[in-house]
Structure 1
């Protein structure tokens, strides 16, 4: 599981930066030794050159200390005490710090993950972060959900990385497997959006999701109309046929381009007019839908959907919910 990344350097960049610091300390030590090479003795009997200085700096900073090259002059020994020893400490701090950084980051990630699991309730699980999944997330965010209330599940690493880059929690894995959906805490979710690439995958995901959670609202996108009954039998509350809906919108736009433009506007949240659902206010209860500030197109009463022209919807009840059209700025 991947939590949304915070403002920090990528791990490889952090390691590269520490490696450059270590190399800089090593290079500085080589220069210090080479500048005072006359104060060092090589057990092989030859003079100390640049390669010998690099060798001595390497074994000294790594605390290996073979003893074949040693400081013999007072100045070289004083330099080892005052300069090379602090450089050795800095070098070790860089190396140990890298290890501690990795361990600390893992610990922080585990703590964040544990807190997230304990606090996650009534969230939305989006299976598939392709074109349909991303647009579904955009619509959910536009209707007031926060990114903390959305969990993405996708088998593709690129899609999971894209979701975390967008600030969402993401789970990498096959959503047809129970353990993958359990990582997304689907058992405590209130909504499930299935936007799989294949219809048969959507059926399996729906069956698995419904097995884990009987009360959640499951919305599934499929390509073909013939798979709609199968999805409903599998436990989907709403099935959206992408090919059929696109075809109907195409036909509508052909006969009436303005009608098609209006429908596209209603389906695109945040621009022009928005189609949404809201509860009836106390001031609206007992009144006609035509008296509401928004344009009411349907009334949800219990488990029934009443169109605005239905006689039963002539008087609103406080427990009703309204399907309305309103300006995007007021949504």
Structure 2
């Protein structure tokens, strides 16, 4: 009989509304309050202690003994002599000492060690970022794009994912991507991921207005960066291009193309899906022509089936006159068998 797994409990999470200074102040006040209670009890019960130095327990001696016993095991110069005082030190002061250590250690880790470590890691990663892919938004479309990039042989360590959702970033991190929890519409965020050194950028923020704003921010920082942007509404395709997007993709429109194609034959939609996937039997391949290919026709240089030339940003079909003679700088798009250029595994 298969053993049932216990149900997973979904935890609600929310960012603390308190600033770092406020959190530190609360911890400090908590420590002071606990120390004040222990000092008060020790002062009331001062006759239950013996000072082996001068035989008298002053208020300064009480403060000294409290601080020493709350942070260490004491030096033996002041000792409790009654049973009640010893029980108080054993059952109250000793747990308080552990509590102090946990708070101090946790504070040091949270606000000093961890932050310093994270900054060092970030600086080290920034030095290695070059010709990388920046993905703004790791929702449904963004995550599928990253999965497809990895399937095509892209090293996930060269993919930087920006998102504000913790769970989405955790998924991207498990894939091996570099992650950053930040607002991609801000200049400092894109500067931090070295947008000027990036090879390309993919934007799928979930909202068209946010995606277009991210595109505007990236475009003014890097005028020549290739940017692919996903929009949901057809009306937003023009604003996306006006914002500087190199390629605008409407998933809804693409789904409509597949549906319309399937209405005239199931093979059409299957073939289109094959072309779009790295795991299909056929796929689209784009490359810059070599020097020895200049002057030749598209049909002569295509490894597979040449379908289009990109010349100065303008498309030229295989049936047009421009396809009869390639020029330097031309990019060609061809349909090749899926096994012709198999994706290389990430290094």
Taking structure 1 as the reference length, the TM-score comes to 0.67
Gaps of 5+ in 1: 1-42, 45-58, 70-95
What are the residue-to-residue correspondences of 1:210-289 with 2, within 5 Å? 210-282=219-291, 284-289=293-298
Partner of 1:328: 338
Partner of 2:74: 64
Distance 1:112 1:100 in 2: 18
**Cα deviation code 1:247-266 (max 9, x no counterpart):** 12111112221011000111
- Say if 1:224 and 1:242, in contact at 8 Å, map to a contact too: no
Partner of 1:191: 200
- Say if 1:190 and 1:215, in contact at 8 Å, map to a contact too: no
Partner of 1:75: none
What are the residue-to-residue correspondences of 1:196-211 with 2, within 5 Å? 196-211=205-220
Selected match of 2:139 from 130, 137, 155: 130
- Say if 2:303 and 2:334, in contact at 8 Å, map to a contact too: no
Q: 1:298 aligns to what SS in structure 2?
A: strand
Q: 2:325 aligns to what SS in structure 1?
A: coil
Distance 1:182 1:233 in 2: 22
Distance 1:284 1:250 in 2: 38
Q: 1:275 aligns to what SS in structure 2?
A: strand
Aligned residues: 251
**Cα deviation code 1:114-153 (max 9, x no counterpart):** 1221232232211111111112112333444322321111
Partner of 2:321: 311
Distance 1:112 1:290 in 2: 49
Distance change >3 Å, CA 204–CA 302, structure 1 → 2: same
Selected match of 1:301 from 280, 297, 311: 311
Partner of 1:163: 172
Q: 2:249 aligns to what SS in structure 1?
A: strand
Gaps of 5+ in 2: 1-47, 50-68, 82-103, 342-347
After superposing the two structures, state which structure 1 stretch, 282-291 or 97-106, moved more: 97-106
**Cα deviation code 1:9-61 (max 9, x no counterpart):** xxxxxxxxxxxxxxxxxxxxxxxxxxxxxxxxxx99xxxxxxxxxxxxxx8x9
Distance 1:169 1:256 in 2: 42
- Say if 1:156 and 1:173, in contact at 8 Å, map to a contact too: no
Taking structure 2 as the reference length, the TM-score comes to 0.64
- Say if 1:124 and 1:191, in contact at 8 Å, map to a contact too: yes
- Say if 1:298 and 1:323, in contact at 8 Å, map to a contact too: yes
Q: 2:339 aligns to what SS in structure 1?
A: helix
**Cα deviation code 1:85-110 (max 9, x no counterpart):** xxxxxxxxxxx999999877765543
Distance 1:157 1:99 in 2: 22
Distance 2:152 2:278 in 1: 8
Distance change >3 Å, CA 227–CA 97, structure 1 → 2: closer
